[in-house]
A and B are shown apart, each in its own frame.
Chain A
Amino acid sequence: MPFLKTGLAIPIFAINAELEILKVNDMAKSMLANGLTILDVIEEESRPKAVLNLLRFEPIQALEINALSSTGSILLADLYVAWSEEGIGEVLIVEKDKTMQKVSEQLNKLRNRLNDTNFELLEAKETAEELLHQNIKLSSPFIEVTETIALIPIYGGLNQTKTELIASTLSRRAYLSEVETLILDFTAVGHIEESGLQGLESLLRVLQLLGFSMVIAGLHPQHVKEWNDMNFTLDIRFMKSLKSAMENLLAVQNS
């Protein structure tokens, strides 16, 4: 066994056909785990691969395996074997170039960072959704102006989700109150989507069924156009502005 004296900077083992270690060089002693068989130097999940290849008793070039270091850590390595005529195998375990590992670690770090960012975005999205929900809830306050009149100023654009939410809170609130007339003020409403208008129609229907008389005030010329396209069949009074609506209703009340 001349290799034991050469002091090669590569771990070398001599094994028999049972894969038992017969000899090791200094490098193998200092760098890799020690054990009775060559499998003790190889990480558990790589053992089936090593056994499969070693037991062919043929020369092996660069069999990629995970080896165990003397400290118990895992080293990605290539295993080389040559068998002598007496059935002695000379095993070299050459640690893999670290460049690939470095790149892979870098990629891992990047992936983790992306994952973190993803999280933060998700959390921000959830907060934004919650705020939007709150915002919608607050965009149609129910204000009792007199004993019999309530004012509902509606804010922002109207789409299906928003009208549905407004409808559920408003009908409940109106039902619990003593008022008879509801003024829905559209002064602060932006664009009304068609789905929003449909939702609005069903809301007005519910309110009418509950026995409220309704006044719509502050419609923009653009809203009027959208409204007309809808062919609303409900009996609703329209007033130019909130001011005229209030004056009108109060005059009726005081007469």
Chain B
Amino acid sequence: MTDHSIKLANLLLRGEEQLAISYIHSVLIENDRLTLYEDFLTPAMTYIGQLWERNEITVADEHLATAICDFIISDFEFRSSMSEEGNRKKVMLFGVEGEEHYIGLKMAAAVFQEFGWSVRYLGPNLPLRHAETAANAWQPDVIAMSAALSYRLPMLKQSVQVLAHTTGQPTLLIGGRMAPHVHFEEEAAPGQMLIMTNLRELHNWLALAQKGVGTINAFS
């Protein structure tokens, strides 16, 4: 936990979106978004979660902080200009059914965008049947989903099993707070599923895929 993220967390909790943005501009070097997501915003939101555990803030405060955080991500989002290429890789992202936490997912979507991917961000709490329909219709190369709470794990597993068989056999990425606790790869979708415990990991994976070192469907 750095001083930056604690200061940022306080600005988020106070609902000061402009101050938060100028603070980020003052401390962020070269507009590095990955640092913003991974080293500033993520720890800030984790810290806010801890404040709730210590009963220092309420769910209402948390919601406000989330909304401000959402606004900041949108403000920094990379506007891709690589859209002329017709053969861009496609990714679809969503939070599993019942899951309302979405900030991490949104940041992951922004990371994909930076790499020039064609991104469909479907938001949190997407019913599985909708996800399935969308996957069959749009046929993404990658489907990224996230879960933050332990009791979403069964739903996450079910989603993996269903989506692994959609047209185009997408690579499935699992992220979110529960990602390190997922141990059903071999059982649910062998050779088709990857776990990303943080955005840096995702970033590195995308960088490798871009260079052609290990294509999307090659697993190491």
> Which residues in A have some Cβ–Cβ distance to B below 8 Å?
44-45, 48-49, 52-53, 63-64, 76, 96, 100, 104, 107-108, 111-112, 115, 119, 125-126, 129, 133
A52 B53 Cβ-Cβ under 8 A? yes
The B50-72 residues at the A interface (CB cut-off 8 A) are 52-55, 58-60, 63, 67, 70
Contacts of A48 in B (CB 8 A): 53
Q: Which of B107-153 contact A (CB under 8 A)?
A: 120-121, 123, 149-151
Q: Smallest CB–CB gap between A211 and chain B, Å?
A: 31
Chain B: minimal CB distance from A142 (Å): 22
- The answer to whether B151 and A44 touch across the interface, beta carbons within 8 angstroms, is yes
Given contacts A44-B151, A64-B59, contact A133 B84 (CB under 8 A): yes
A45: chain B residues within 8 A (beta carbon): 149-150
| B210: interface (CB < 8 Å) | no
Establish whether residues B83 and A126, one from each chain, have CB atoms under 8 Å apart when the complex forms: yes
Q: A49-B53, A64-B52, A112-B123 are in contact. Are A44 and B150 (CB under 8 A)?
A: yes
Known: A44-B150, A49-B55, A111-B123. 5 other contacts (CB 8 A): A45-B149, A49-B52, A63-B55, A104-B60, A129-B83
Convert B84-125 into 0s and 1s, putting 1 for each residue whose CB lies closer than 8 angstroms to a CB of A: 100000000000000010000000000000000000110100
Q: How far is the CA of A96 from the CA of B59 in the complex (A)?
A: 11
Q: Which residue of B lies closest to A129 (CB)?
A: B83
**Closest chain A residue, CB of each to CB of B53:** A49
Q: Classify chain B: how many residues form its interface, as a range.
A: 10 to 19
Distance to closest chain B CB from A39 (angstroms): 14
Residue pairs across A and B with Cβ atoms less than 8 A apart, 13 shown, are A44-B149, A44-B151, A49-B53, A49-B54, A49-B55, A64-B52, A64-B55, A104-B63, A107-B63, A108-B100, A112-B123, A125-B83, A129-B84
Min CB distance A149 to B, Å, is 33
- Contact, CB under 8 Å: A119 / B55: no
Q: B67 contacts A107, CB within 8 Å?
A: yes
CB distance from B153 to the nearest CB of A (A): 11
Alpha-carbon distance between A108 and B63 when the two chains are bound, in angstroms: 10
Inter-chain CA distance A63–B100, complex, in Å, is: 22
- Choose from A96, A119, A129, A133 the contact partner of B120 (Cβ within 8 Å): A119
Cα A63 to Cα B54 with chains together (Å): 9
B183 CB to nearest chain A CB (Å):
18
CA distance A104 to B60 in the complex (A): 8
Task: Tell me which of A45, A96, A107 has the highest count of chain B C-beta atoms within 10 A of its own C-beta.
Answer: A45
Contact at A76–B55, with CB atoms within 8 Å? no
Query: With A and B bound together, what is the CA distance between A133 and B121 in angstroms?
Result: 26
The minimal Cβ–Cβ distance linking B15 to chain A, given in whole angstroms, is 13
What is the bound-complex CA distance between A126 and B60, given in angstroms?
Answer: 38
Chain A nearest CB, measured from B181 CB (Å): 13
Q: Is the Cβ of B121 less than 8 Å from the Cβ of A115?
A: yes
A133 to B84, CA, bound (A): 8
Partner of B123, one of A63, A76, A104, A115: A115
Closest residue of chain A to B121 (Cβ to Cβ) is A115
Tell me the minimal C-beta distance from B14 to chain A in angstroms: 18
Contacts of A108 in B (CB 8 A): 100
* Given A44-B150, A115-B123, CB of A53 within 8 Å of CB of B84: no
